[in-house]
Amino acid sequence: MTEVEWGRLKSAEIGALAARNAVAVVPVGSIEQHGPHLPTQVDTLLAGEIGLRAARLAAATTPVVVTPTVWSGLAEHHMSLGGTLTLDLATFCAVLRCVCRSLARHGFRRILLLNGHGGNMAALTAFANEIGPELQLPVATATYWTLAKDAFAAILERQTTVRHACEAETSMLLALAPDLVDMAKAADAVGPTEVELAAVAGDAAHRYRSFKVRTRHGAIGDPRAATAEKGEKLLDAAADAVAKLIANERFWALPA
Amino acid sequence: MTEVEWGRLKSAEIGALAARNAVAVVPVGSIEQHGPHLPTQVDTLLAGEIGLRAARLAAATTPVVVTPTVWSGLAEHHMSLGGTLTLDLATFCAVLRCVCRSLARHGFRRILLLNGHGGNMAALTAFANEIGPELQLPVATATYWTLAKDAFAAILERQTTVRHACEAETSMLLALAPDLVDMAKAADAVGPTEVELAAVAGDAAHRYRSFKVRTRHGAIGDPRAATAEKGEKLLDAAADAVAKLIANERFWALPA
Amino acid sequence: MTEVEWGRLKSAEIGALAARNAVAVVPVGSIEQHGPHLPTQVDTLLAGEIGLRAARLAAATTPVVVTPTVWSGLAEHHMSLGGTLTLDLATFCAVLRCVCRSLARHGFRRILLLNGHGGNMAALTAFANEIGPELQLPVATATYWTLAKDAFAAILERQTTVRHACEAETSMLLALAPDLVDMAKAADAVGPTEVELAAVAGDAAHRYRSFKVRTRHGAIGDPRAATAEKGEKLLDAAADAVAKLIANERFWALPA
Amino acid sequence: MTEVEWGRLKSAEIGALAARNAVAVVPVGSIEQHGPHLPTQVDTLLAGEIGLRAARLAAATTPVVVTPTVWSGLAEHHMSLGGTLTLDLATFCAVLRCVCRSLARHGFRRILLLNGHGGNMAALTAFANEIGPELQLPVATATYWTLAKDAFAAILERQTTVRHACEAETSMLLALAPDLVDMAKAADAVGPTEVELAAVAGDAAHRYRSFKVRTRHGAIGDPRAATAEKGEKLLDAAADAVAKLIANERFWALPA
Amino acid sequence: MTEVEWGRLKSAEIGALAARNAVAVVPVGSIEQHGPHLPTQVDTLLAGEIGLRAARLAAATTPVVVTPTVWSGLAEHHMSLGGTLTLDLATFCAVLRCVCRSLARHGFRRILLLNGHGGNMAALTAFANEIGPELQLPVATATYWTLAKDAFAAILERQTTVRHACEAETSMLLALAPDLVDMAKAADAVGPTEVELAAVAGDAAHRYRSFKVRTRHGAIGDPRAATAEKGEKLLDAAADAVAKLIANERFWALPA
Amino acid sequence: MTEVEWGRLKSAEIGALAARNAVAVVPVGSIEQHGPHLPTQVDTLLAGEIGLRAARLAAATTPVVVTPTVWSGLAEHHMSLGGTLTLDLATFCAVLRCVCRSLARHGFRRILLLNGHGGNMAALTAFANEIGPELQLPVATATYWTLAKDAFAAILERQTTVRHACEAETSMLLALAPDLVDMAKAADAVGPTEVELAAVAGDAAHRYRSFKVRTRHGAIGDPRAATAEKGEKLLDAAADAVAKLIANERFWALPA
């Protein structure tokens, strides 16, 4: 199997990948509270795992490399529930800017910021709109569950997409690290426990809301339905969708 | 008719509105190229006009005030087509931060950043996630055509939503400032003229793209179908949707 | 009449103006309390109006375009009297830097930051000293009442220059927007009401002072003497002085 | 064995550790070229591994938790040799500031920035001098090989301390991830290959120097002497030294 | 004679001055080219010397202390003539902010930024408008030759005020450091040598202009008329004017 | 004697030095409390004096110029003992960046940041690692007492190196400015008076500590042993070591 992990490669190997016009995948996660039954690394673990699985799939046709996962995301909304390490927006952009500039200096001409945390989504889009014209390179961003939207909807039973510490995330953790999941506590971790924004104003208006005022225990969704088998399917579906994006030559060839 | 325009009010009147817990609406637009047939002020004009119309509707039940429109938005993607004045992301957030802080210091406890420019959407969401916890106030953001999505789809004939210098924007300009619209030039301003991102990769992945590589003339959508009558309907529909949000007491009362 | 307003022009028209080496005028105002009888938009309204009148005068001989007015100025000293939206110094410079850089990228080689707010004066000079060498272009700044100093002194009866919410500003508002002026309240809006810096230390030393400690009601000067006729004369005198600067080819040709 | 890894803990468990006044260890590494025979993750792998080993040792007496490793360090000097992802100084400090502030908000009162990369040393000291007084907490920083200086000198045969991609780092990689080490290439990776600063001016003067001008292949030291056994000893010695610091109650109790 | 120089005082003596509500004078100069006949330290030397002389005069009635002179000013306009060390605007403000904050933390409640360099004037005013409300203290700024305007006009023969490397500055240097003045070269250092802004557009408009395009040799004014005796008079007049400001209790007592 | 002091040179003379590839020495000090017996300028005075003495020695073989001393350093740890003017880290780096950029623009290709304050050491190293690659020039930094380590150890009787307000600093002040030294108060200024970090954890771990918690009176070391004669020897030894570095052609010729 081709090695795709930046951290496991030697410098010359990375240079060779750049010379072959490899897609550089930068997984971006978060370290934050994930309810009573899941550990804080969920978003970081999943972004990295899906990035690697996708890269291994894509590598058959497309040179690709996956950097270490940026585990420091935007999670102010989780701070009051503990366990969370958050950046501010300027710092989040600064870190990604430095990573992208480093990649560009080494000759990489295609960058995918692969996101695994809801709180990063808007900022990644805004950031991509800045770094793209600065580097004059295609810098793309996508969230794995949006790329795999239909497949996820088909696999999940009580949700249609990824929520937080939910059927989807709990399933994937059961597949990857069952010892870190406390299903006994999942029984009560069903949310939201409070009225949600969409319930009173639809989806079109956004307001900052702390997770604490949405859910007493930190979870949104229904983790009780989680299984490892479902998790494995979700991971594969996500990897498949990301791999298609990596290998989508027309996507990358579109002028910027 | 109650005066809702900050710039037309005297200081004491603004103070009285703050004391009544008025919603402060901050329209956010852009100054940028709008194809061969529309002037550069479109997004600024529309955001401001819709903000005022909405506020006048809402004022019957909800104290409300509309600040001057922040006309300096994020429009790097339009720069290469001329006529555009763009901020960078840090400056955009800094301006909004100063405005929101000023509002909070005067006692306003409910702020709506009402957007009229596609390029601002992600940044406004990311910004709202920062300023909300900083001020410990509900700072909301919404784009008028997303709020009025269904109504717009029903009114428009060749598009389902607002694109750029399109059936929708051209119609609204015909309603508000017909002397600024050159319908003779609209005949050719149909776009996109080049292959679009969604055509090759769907909607789930984002990549910075200059407008110039999407459309030779700067327009996306079909302005030929524009009429003033349609424009008036769109403006009213947008104002109606925004007014409902302003007057949605449950929306504002949700804890942050 | 030649159109000079950026926001009313189409992109190609703006490009043509740049190609003809047009002077780009950027009016800079403020939104701030203006005593009991004037609205908060005074400085923004006047800077923009004078910019447009001047440009129309100058257009006979000099290509010229007027951007939207930067309405967000430096007005911390007015905050405690309400109605004010202020930037901090770094943000003020950042906005102007983005606007000037945008202008330069579109090919404009002559920029005039036309000021209408006392609190912006020093900052605009300091900013011009930065952006000039950065862009290697003549970026000028001037405050309209300083340019028209002698004419203003001749027109005004109880002041020699513009103060704040005073004979001059009230007159110009009476000329432009009489419905926004409450002359009944002007009767008491004579100031300063407290001892002034110059009275104890002359003009040579500067100290930050809140307007609140200079004048209880927010006005300095004597608005009772204001008339619309006087206002029209002031506007014309200001426009005339600014037009002369715009059309002063030797001024712009001086090397930077 | 007590779990000490932040990412494997649940939020409530982390809160309990904070309540017990746990020491929060933040490993700080780098992703950078490591000569022809080692992968780019060396400094990140070692900082994290030593942090965890040390925490497990210390946990017997001292509550302790280890955050994910900050893998983005200061490595401009390695950029020209490829494989490197570097931050600038301001961003490096900003990331650490956000992490430390997050820790403080969760109630942690003792923070150790455990460093595994030479290029971070000065910056971490300078940063600690800023964040300490800001948070009014003991924020310490130490580099593992300096803490274990004597033990390392005793274990190593051809060096006295850690250099770069050297006997020490290669040994530790042989212990932890032998499949990532190419000992065949280590044969030539002896350095420096060019004249060193200390050779011409002693140790007292510092000058930025790119690694490329110090060593053609990216390694300094002698990796040929590396063995896994030596590596295991080094890891244990480092962990032991770091554990002593974590458990040194007098060290943490010294007023700031 | 009372010691007024911060750098010559011991910490406890400075604390005692703060306790007596001493005025803290911060001289601000520049290091920049001063024509063919004067050294680069002129503005720094003069600001510091006048600050100390003034403080010694004022000390009879007012507790006062003079910090070291901030020698790093805004002198981009002198860069092309050599010998100049300039800050950018943000850094200039940052240094002064740190100094003022330090003073405030030590209990000083009255701060005078005493300027001796034309290029600093606008920035110091803008800065004072920021730091005043931040610290809620009277932070004043004045330029010595503006404070002593009338006296200077009476003493000088060929100028009415300080220009650059001119009759005034050369005279003061002859008084303070005659060995640093090359009067032989002053013979030709009469300027401006090129057309000036005021000559084509009056004083009311400001434009950045490099000194090089105003004067070939770097001097403006007429240093040929300089004498040490005149210099001593100028220094005393400046010191006298500054002392009056320091001792002006009503000035400092005005609310901010 | 060749003039080496930037502030005493004329612009053309400085240009000539740059053309001869002079080493530009930038002394960096601090203004901070120095115990009961020494004035606050100690570090600034010594860095500047040693820089000048060294430059005069080196000038025989190496063109050299010494800028004014950057007297604003990093001294937060002294703030609580009074008399201190401190910058924050970002401002400290910004000032030095502006100075180095100015030097580079004037053609200087070799820069030595000569430090005289312990609190600046780590930051100067971190800064040099940034500015070196930015300017692509050798920017070196050294602290005088580290360069002259052995000589200092031989001269001092009760210390082996410079501490703070100690035998070494007091001796050098007695040599340079005896009127500023109060030896009567030195009798009690022996420190540390509290337990030191190294005593509980060795030298390898760093923690921010205020001077106040290390020494009640602000001094560390033993100033009672200070003599002017010793001070003169220390100054000469330091100047000698710095001169050797300035004149070390191989040091400067090493590629960056």
Q: Name the band, by pLDDT with cuts 50, 70 and 90, for residue E63.
A: very high
The mean pLDDT of chain C is 97
- Is pLDDT of E174 > 90? yes
Burial of E198 (0-12, 13-18, 19+ CB in 10 A): exposed
Average pLDDT over residues E236-245: 98
Confirm or reject contact between F252 and chain E (CB < 8 A). no
Q: Give tens-digit pLDDT for F153-205.
A: 999 999 999 999 999 999 999 999 999 999 999 998 999 999 999 999 999 99
Among C7, C81, C95, select the one facing B31 at the smallest CB separation.
Answer: C7
Confidence (pLDDT) at A251: 97
- Which subunits count as partners of chain D given 3+ CB pairs below 8 Å? A, F
The mean pLDDT of chain D is 97
Confirm or reject contact between D29 and chain F (CB < 8 A). no
Among F139, F245, F250, select the one facing D208 at the smallest CB separation.
Answer: F139
The H helix count followed by the E strand count for chain A is 11, 5
Residue pairs spanning A and B at CB distance below 8 A: 159
The answer to whether residues A35 and A92 touch, using CB atoms and an 8 Å cutoff, is: no
DSSP C217: T
Confidence (pLDDT) at D126: 98
Distance CA D133, CA A71 (A): 27
Task: For residue D193, list chain F residues with Cβ-Cβ distance below 8 A.
Answer: none
Distance CA F256, CA F252 (A): 9
Cβ distance of E10 and F83 shorter than 8 Å = yes
Please confirm whether the linkage preceding F178 is cis (ω < 30° from 0). no
Confirm or reject contact between D250 and chain F (CB < 8 A). yes
Beta carbons within 8 Å of B162's beta carbon, 6+ residues apart = B118, B145, B152, B168, B169, B221
Strand, coil or helix: what is D11? helix
Strand, coil or helix: what is B53? helix
Among F11, F36, F218, select the one facing E81 at the smallest CB separation.
Answer: F11
Between CA E19 and CA F216, with CA F220 as vertex, the angle to 5 degrees is: 40
The mean pLDDT of chain F is 97
Count of beta carbons in the 10 Å neighbourhood of residue D256? 16
Q: Name the band, by pLDDT with cuts 50, 70 and 90, for residue C85.
A: very high
Confidence (pLDDT) at F42: 98
- Give B202→chain C minimum CA distance, Å: 30
Confidence (pLDDT) at A238: 98
**Strand B64-66 to strand B23-28: parallel, antiparallel, or no bridges (unpaired)?**
parallel
Q: Do chains F and C touch (3 or more CB pairs under 8 A)?
A: no
Burial of D237 (0-12, 13-18, 19+ CB in 10 A): buried
Strand, coil or helix: what is A79? helix
Range list of β-strands (E), chain C:
23-28, 64-66, 110-115, 139-143, 205-207
Cβ distance of C10 and B85 shorter than 8 Å = no
Please confirm whether the linkage preceding D68 is cis (ω < 30° from 0). no
Between CA C139 and CA C141, with CA C140 as vertex, the angle to 5 degrees is: 130
Among C119, C138, C201, select the one facing E207 at the smallest CB separation.
Answer: C138
Confidence (pLDDT) at F150: 98
**For E105, nearest residue in chain F (alpha carbons):** F79
Confidence (pLDDT) at D31: 98
CA distances from residue F5 to C108, C255, F144 in whole angstroms, order as listed: 44, 33, 18
Confirm or reject contact between A251 and chain B (CB < 8 A). yes
Distance CA D239, CA D105 (A): 28
User: Residue-wise pLDDT tens for chain A (256 aa)?
Assistant: 789 999 999 999 999 999 999 999 999 999 999 999 999 999 999 999 999 999 999 999 999 999 999 999 999 999 999 999 999 999 999 999 999 999 999 999 999 999 999 999 999 999 999 999 999 999 999 999 999 999 999 999 999 999 999 999 999 999 999 999 999 999 989 999 999 999 999 999 999 999 999 999 999 999 999 999 999 999 999 999 999 999 999 999 999 9
- Is pLDDT of C1 > 90? no
The structural domains of chain D, ordered by start, are 6-248 (3.40.50.10310)
Q: Name the band, by pLDDT with cuts 50, 70 and 90, for residue F40.
A: very high
- Is pLDDT of F1 > 90? no
Helix H or strand E encompassing B62: none
Q: Give tens-digit pLDDT for C139-185.
A: 999 999 999 999 999 999 999 999 999 999 999 999 999 999 999 99
Residue pairs spanning A and D at CB distance below 8 A: 163
What DSSP letter does each residue of F90-112 carry, written as one string? Answer: HHHHHHHHHHHHHHHHTT--EEE
**Strand D110-115 to strand E110-115: parallel, antiparallel, or no bridges (unpaired)?**
unpaired
Ranges of chain B whose pLDDT falls below 70: none
Please confirm whether the linkage preceding F192 is cis (ω < 30° from 0). yes
CA distances from residue F50 to D146, F54, F125 in whole angstroms, order as listed: 32, 6, 20
Distance CA B223, CA D238 (A): 70
Q: Name the band, by pLDDT with cuts 50, 70 and 90, for residue E131.
A: very high
Confidence (pLDDT) at E69: 98
The answer to whether residues F42 and F34 touch, using CB atoms and an 8 Å cutoff, is: yes
Burial of E213 (0-12, 13-18, 19+ CB in 10 A): middle
Task: For residue C8, list chain B residues with Cβ-Cβ distance below 8 A.
Answer: 39, 41, 177, 180
Confidence (pLDDT) at C237: 98
Strand, coil or helix: what is B212? helix
Burial A95-123 (b: 16+ CB within 10 A, else e): bbbbbbbbbbbbbbbbbbbbbbbbbbbbb
Confidence (pLDDT) at B22: 98
Confidence (pLDDT) at C76: 98
Q: Give tens-digit pLDDT for C173-226.
A: 999 999 999 999 999 899 999 999 999 999 999 999 999 999 999 999 999 999
The answer to whether residues D167 and F214 touch, using CB atoms and an 8 Å cutoff, is: no
Distance CA E102, CA E104 (A): 5
Q: In this structure, what are the phi and psi dihedrals at residue B24, rounded to the nearest 5 degrees?
A: -95, 115
DSSP A64: E
Confidence (pLDDT) at E89: 98
Strand, coil or helix: what is B65? strand
Q: Give tens-digit pLDDT for D104-162.
A: 999 999 999 999 999 999 999 999 999 999 999 999 999 999 999 999 999 999 999 99
Confidence (pLDDT) at F151: 98
Cβ distance of E208 and C89 shorter than 8 Å = no
